């Protein structure tokens, strides 16, 4: 493991004639390359974590430098009018379990870039990863994509340093675009937020700057087994990569049953329980019939929410708080700043039930209304909830939560605590779980469908189909390919 | 031509094993079938037009029974709170030719159904078409899909008759779904409106009720050469049909050069100038970089707009008016009603420049911001404008208008006047034009790309990519397959 490109990296990269599918497959299987080795990664990362101090101190919302509370509405806004704001939203979902509520929500209309720069070394695709501090991370440093930039970042509103490697995502250098799709973020906390998920391959001889390193997909998959290390932005970008199911299948002949079913699930040739048109019909039906109305309202006037001692919280103490923080950090564009953040009150559970159907792994996806969805509803995990919140709701726990929380350990294929975006959310940690079940014993429900992974990949070519929690789980599922765990 | 199904229709329909692509191809080529003949269609339609009287009388907006002007905002709303409303919109497009304006716009948040029921007779797919009166049509009766229903229609808010054949689109009968996708409508006049475009094949023995008839795709294509006959809803549903390019190519070996290039353009196997990922990247780039802000504002307060003598108009007299009408009609669910309508001030031009590139017909599509777009911008025609309006704007005429208006008649492949939706728009007629040009002599522009028809078909499987004007042109282009014209 080296911080900078090794001598082998200065050999000419593979010419463009190599198919990207093949390079992706090589990368997914590569755990040791001449360039990088995870045995070297961990000490390097530990050293950076020790060096990159970050101190986050909670401050009352009234005392955030650069931020003001609008006199009329109580909305929280930056003095520049940019970055983001915290406002109020009134939500009506005619037939939902809770037909009407109000809540604070983050407005961030600008489209940022989550960009992963990839390059072939000795024919194997490597991803340029950034060790990045975010104020909301409980452990400070996590592994981020090459570029994680809001529009304010790169138009200079931050008055910070230039974003390294951004130029590769703005058309400079010898590059080939692999993925470019806007995807939504947390529909419970963001109003219609989306970021551009980009993967760009370069043939330039790009050195890894301090705090950056080149890793293969196989190595990232191993790191996804580590608690709280691979950040949300990395997970969502990885999920949007096209996946070389056929290529991989031909390379893993000895995979066991779960592995083989997972591999087949990545390959369009394997088919699935439902044709893609049936899946699109299911989404269209839910989006057409749901009667959802979201109305911006003043943050000050939200029913059930109070601003007290510089914190906005729900009268039950549940859900989340809006808090203020002052951040001192090294390793970020701006060294000291203040901002509001969302602080969830408890750890959530984000889970897919998975099942081998005709030898192909399927996941039970739920198409569900969320207040921040641009287009009514998106396809999400089987379960996405904070169990503690349900004590405050009249509806009881969501479907299939029991199956996840009560799963026999032998059924659990993945179970790792991971953080949500540390730039807006303060210590938002979720337990990501994949549980294998028997589909034949799982009751049918109009909001749920069994999907193969290649179908999720088809949907992920387009915006607004697959929500951020399900995208994280897609990355987690793929990380089980070729692993020793299942 | 018969109004009801002929004896041959009671023979058992083709079993489900027949591939729909093959049935679609047969239908596209069929001009005469045992069931229908256009020689009989025209007298039948003329008779209906004579019988289905419709009288539309302009009334001041203050005198529309069942409608009220909101005391605070001046918005026009139905007493029930349903159907639609006319409100005000403030639009900012940072880098647009007009960076800011205000305008009236129609809000209709409910998703309606535009449904086409199809059935095979003697192996040939037929579409059940409805002769339907709409108050905005200058000629009253036009050819509509089987079902054209707002949610208010089928939830009974209209207190009218049940919508015939609606049950086939709600899961009843022996049906197979062919297409189900929500698509936007006029982004200049509607705020985020979309309808569900559905095509459903039945194997039931369905008789055609009075005012309905079974036509093949080939016959609909011939009728698309007739001025103001095939309505907008039919055109958009036809555009969303999957198109059997390969099937057709094998059946039309003697097609001439234009025909052959059009056929190849329908077949994914033929390829295209840009890969689909490049097209998605182009759309993503425009949607990400455009800074568009739309803010609802009171209709009463719109800068530049006046309500005078019961009509809302722009101070220049340009663009459109909002008028009131009282309608007396036979052949519609409710016999007499009043409503506001949008009345454009002049005839528009909606055109594709088309070019044979490597033997494959491409059209020059423009990805353009419109105020009513749910997702910033959609792919539209090369030219979509009302030439008379440009006299009132500082920017001069839009790109390529000159090429369309000044085209050599020998270059014109399609040129027919067609109406927009007659339920909301009063005599909104556009000249739909397809002009063949030399792509090599057409200047490049970041908002424009050459697309093959099979790529538009790929985009049309999903919502919010291709706008309604481009969808109409797709139907018009396909209507040139196997025709005698080009």
pLDDT in tens, A302-327: 999 999 999 999 999 999 999 999 99
**Which residues of chain B lie closer than 8 angstroms to A109, CB-CB?**
293
CA–CA separation, B67 and B71 (whole Å)? 12
Helices H / strands E in chain A, number of each: 11, 25
pLDDT (mean) for B274-281? 95
Which of the pair, B474 or B15, is modelled with greater confidence?
B474
Place of tokens 């904070």: A386
Q: What is the per-residue pLDDT for A61? A: 97
- A positions 165-194 inside 8 Å of B (CB): 177, 180-182
Residues A445-484: b if buried by 16+ CB within 10 A, e if exposed: eeebbbbbbbbbbbbbbbbbbbbbbbbbbbbbbbbbbbbe
What pLDDT is recorded for position A331? 53
pLDDT at residue B256, as a whole number:
66
* A181 → chain B, closest CA residue: B284
Task: In whole angstroms, give the CA distance from residue B307 to residue B300.
Answer: 8
Q: Do A181 and B280 touch (CB under 8 A)?
A: yes
> What's the pLDDT at A158?
52
- The mean of the pLDDT values for chain B is 90
Rounded Cα distance, B48 and B190, in Å: 31
Contacts of A285 in chain B (CB under 8 A): 180
Please give the average per-residue pLDDT across B268-276, as a whole number: 93
Local structure of residue A400 (DSSP, 8 states): T
Q: CB contact, 8 Å: B395 with chain A? A: no
Contact (CB, 8 A) for B307 and B298:
no
Residues of chain A above pLDDT 70, percent:
92
Query: Would you state the pLDDT for residue B37?
Result: 87
B443 CB-near residues (< 8 Å, 6+ apart): none
Q: What is the pLDDT of residues A253-285, one digit of tens each?
A: 666 689 899 999 999 989 999 999 999 999 999
Percentage with pLDDT > 70 across chain B: 92
Q: How far is CA B43 from CA A455, B33, B133, in A?
A: 49, 18, 17
> To the nearest 10°, the Cα dihedral for A143, A147, A152, A154?
150
pLDDT at A97 over 60: yes
Among B88, B86, B92, B91, smallest CA distance to B67 is for B86
User: Can you tell me the distance from the alpha carbon of B131 to that of A241, in angstroms, rounded to the nearest whole number?
Assistant: 48
Nearest-CB residue to B288 (from A111, A280, A374)? A111
Burial of B28 (0-12, 13-18, 19+ CB in 10 A): buried
Of A78-87, A326-335, B396-405, the least confident: A326-335
Q: Is B92 on the interface with A (CB under 8 A)?
A: no
3-class DSSP assignment, residue A476? helix
B129-140 confidence digits (pLDDT tens) = 999 989 999 998
CA B120/CA B123 separation, integer angstroms: 5
Q: Is the pLDDT of residue A12 over 60?
A: no
Number of helices and strands (H, E) in chain B? 11, 25
Residues 6+ apart with CB under 8 A from A382: A351, A352, A353, A363, A364, A365, A366, A399, A400, A404, A448
More confident residue, B1 or B260: B260
- Rounded Cα gap, residues A307 and A324, in angstroms: 12
Sign of CA dihedral A331, A332, A333, A335: negative
Q: Answer whether B460's CB lies under 8 Å from B471's CB.
A: yes
Q: How confident is the model at residue B484 (pLDDT cuts 50, 70, 90)?
A: low
pLDDT at B97: 83
- DSSP symbol at A6: -
A317 burial class (0-12, 13-18, 19+ CB within 10 angstroms)?
exposed
Distance CA A248, CA B148 (A): 47
Pairing of strands B429-436, B448-452: unpaired
DSSP assignment string, B454-477: HHHHHHTTSTTSB-HHHHHHHHHH
- Of A375 and B254, the structure prediction assigns the larger pLDDT to A375
CA angle centred on A417, ends A359 and A224, rounded to 5°: 60
B-chain CB neighbours of A181 within 8 Å are 280, 284
Q: How many other C-beta atoms lie within 10 A of the C-beta of residue B211?
A: 19
* Res. B164: pLDDT tops 60: yes
pLDDT grade, residue A354 (50/70/90)?
very high
Distance from CA of A178 to the nearest CA of B (A): 8
* pLDDT in the model for residue B330: 67
- The interaxial angle of helices B468-478 and B232-240, nearest 10 deg, is 70
pLDDT greater than 50 at residue B275: yes
Beta-carbon separation of B464 and A375 below 8 A: yes
Q: Which of A147, A288, A466 to mutate to test the interface with B (most CBs of B within 10 A)?
A: A288
**DSSP code, position A5:** -
Confidence of residue B14 (pLDDT cuts 50, 70, 90): very low
Beta bridge partners of B197: B114, B181
Place of tokens 């890969």: B275
Residue from the list A177, A278, A284 with its beta carbon closest to the beta carbon of B277: A177
Handedness of CA B217, B222, B224, B229 (dihedral sign): negative
Is residue B287 within 8 angstroms of chain A, CB to CB? yes
* pLDDT band at residue A300 using 50, 70 and 90 as cut-offs: very high
Q: Does B277 touch chain A (CB under 8 A)?
A: yes
Touching B: A residues 439-478, CB under 8 Å: 461-464
d(CA A292, CA A156): 37
Restricting to A residues 360-389, those with a Cβ less than 8 Å away from any Cβ of B are 374-375
Confidence at A389, pLDDT banded by 50, 70, 90: confident
Instruction: Judge whether B249 and B264 are in contact, CB under 8 Å.
Output: yes
Q: How far is B288 from chain A (nearest CA, A)?
A: 6
Position B333 confidence tier, pLDDT thresholds 50, 70, 90: low
% pLDDT > 90, chain A: 74
Residue A466 has pLDDT above 80, yes or no: yes
pLDDT at A10 over 50: no
Structure tokens at B98: 């007009």
- Residue numbers in A near B463 (CB within 8 A): 284, 375
State whether A182 and B285 contact (CB < 8 Å): no
For residue A213, what are the β-bridge partners?
A: A129
Who has greater pLDDT, A164 or B96? A164
Q: Which residue has the tokens 């305008």?
A: B103
Q: Give me the residue from B284, B374, B461 closest to A180, CB to CB.
A: B284
pLDDT at residue B82, rounded to an integer: 85
Q: B90 and chain A: CB distance < 8 Å anywhere?
A: no
* pLDDT digits 0-9 by tens, A159-204: 556 899 999 998 877 899 999 999 999 999 999 999 999 999 999 9
Q: Report CA-CA distances (Å) from A103 to A304, A310, B119.
A: 8, 17, 49
Say if the Cβ atoms of B111 and A281 lie within 8 Å.
no
pLDDT tens string A374-384 = 999 999 999 99
| pLDDT score, position A5 | 30
pTM metric for this prediction: 0.92
Which residue of B177, B284, B285 is in closest CB contact with A281? B177
Q: Which residues contact A334 (CB under 8 A, 6 or more apart)?
A: A158, A159, A160
Listed in sequence order, the residues at least 6 apart from B140 whose beta carbon sits closer than 8 Å to its beta carbon are B49, B52, B53, B54, B133, B134
Per-residue DSSP letter, A363: E
- List, in sequence order, every residue forming a beta bridge with B153; answer none if it has no partner: none
- What pLDDT shows up at residue B118? 97
Query: Would you say residue B11 has pLDDT above 50?
Result: no
Q: What is the pLDDT of residue A7?
A: 30
Task: ipTM value, please give it.
Answer: 0.90
Give per-residue pLDDT as tens, B20-36: 888 898 899 898 888 88
Task: Give the pLDDT confidence score for residue B331 in this predicted structure.
Answer: 53
Pairing status of strand B377-380 against strand A100-107: unpaired
CB contact set of B227 (below 8 Å; sequence gap of 6+): B416, B417, B418
pLDDT top residue among B396 and B459:
B459
Average pLDDT for residues B95-114, to the nearest whole number?
A: 92
Across-strand partners of B184?
Answer: B194
With an 8 Å Cβ cutoff, are B182 and A280 in contact? no
Question: Is the per-residue pLDDT at B158 higher than 60?
Answer: no
**Chain B residue whose CA is closest to A281:** B180
Number of other CB atoms surrounding residue A62 within 10 Å: 12
Q: Coil, strand or helix: which one is B135?
A: coil
Q: Best interface-test mutation with B: which of A369, A463, A466 has the largest number of B CBs within 10 A? A: A463
């Amino acid at each position: 493991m080296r911080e900078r490109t090794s001598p082998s990296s200065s050999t000419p990269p593979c010419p463009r004639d190599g198919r990207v599918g093949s390079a992706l497959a090589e990368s997914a299987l590569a755990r040791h390359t001449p360039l990088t080795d995870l045995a070297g990664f961990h000490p390097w990362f530990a050293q950076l974590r020790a060096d990159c101090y970050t101190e986050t101190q909670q401050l009352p919302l009234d005392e955030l430098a650069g931020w003001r509370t609008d006199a009329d509405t109580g909305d929280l806004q930056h003095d520049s009018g940019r970055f983001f704001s915290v406002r109020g939203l009134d939500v009506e979902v005619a037939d939902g379990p809770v037909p009407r509520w109000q809540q604070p929500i983050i407005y961030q209309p600008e489209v940022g870039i989550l960009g992963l720069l990839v390059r072939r070394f000795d024919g194997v695709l490597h991803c340029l990863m950034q060790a990045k501090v975010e104020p909301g991370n409980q452990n400070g440093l996590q592994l981020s994509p090459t570029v994680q930039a809001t529009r304010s970042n790169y138009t200079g509103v931050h008055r910070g340093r230039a974003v390294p490697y951004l130029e590769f995502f703005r058309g400079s250098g010898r590059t080939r675009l692999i993925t470019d799709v806007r995807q939504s973020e947390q529909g419970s906390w963001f109003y219609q937020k989306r970021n551009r998920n980009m993967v760009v391959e370069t043939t330039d001889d790009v050195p890894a700057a301090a705090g950056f390193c080149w890793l293969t997909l196989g190595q990232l998959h191993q790191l996804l087994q580590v608690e709280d290390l691979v950040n949300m932005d990395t997970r969502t970008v990885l999920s949007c990569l096209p996946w070389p199911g056929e290529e991989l299948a031909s390379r893993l002949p000895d995979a066991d049953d779960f592995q083989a079913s997972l591999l087949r699930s990545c390959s369009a040739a394997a088919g699935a329980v439902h044709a893609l048109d049936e899946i699109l019909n299911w989404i269209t039906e839910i989006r057409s019939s749901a009667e959802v109305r979201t109305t911006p309202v003043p943050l000050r006037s939200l029913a059930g929410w109070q601003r007290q001692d510089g914190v906005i919280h729900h009268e039950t103490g549940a859900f989340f708080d809006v808090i203020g923080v002052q951040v001192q950090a090294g390793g970020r564009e701006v060294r000291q700043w203040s901002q509001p953040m969302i602080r969830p009150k408890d750890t959530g559970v984000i889970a897919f039930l998975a099942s081998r159907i005709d030898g192909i792994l399927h996941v039970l996806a739920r198409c569900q209304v969320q207040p921040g969805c641009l287009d009514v509803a998106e396809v999400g995990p089987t379960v996405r909830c904070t169990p503690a919140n349900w004590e405050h709701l009249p509806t009881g726990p969501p479907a299939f939560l029991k199956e996840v929380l009560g799963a026999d350990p032998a059924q659990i294929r993945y179970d790792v605590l991971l953080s949500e975006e540390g730039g807006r959310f303060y210590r938002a940690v979720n337990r990501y779980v994949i549980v294998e079940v028997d589909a034949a014993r799982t009751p049918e429900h109009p909001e749920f469908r069994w999907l193969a992974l290649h179908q999720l990949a088809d949907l992920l070519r387009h915006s607004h189909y697959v929500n951020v929690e399900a995208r994280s789980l897609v990355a987690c599922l793929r990380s089980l390919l070729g692993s020793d765990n299942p």
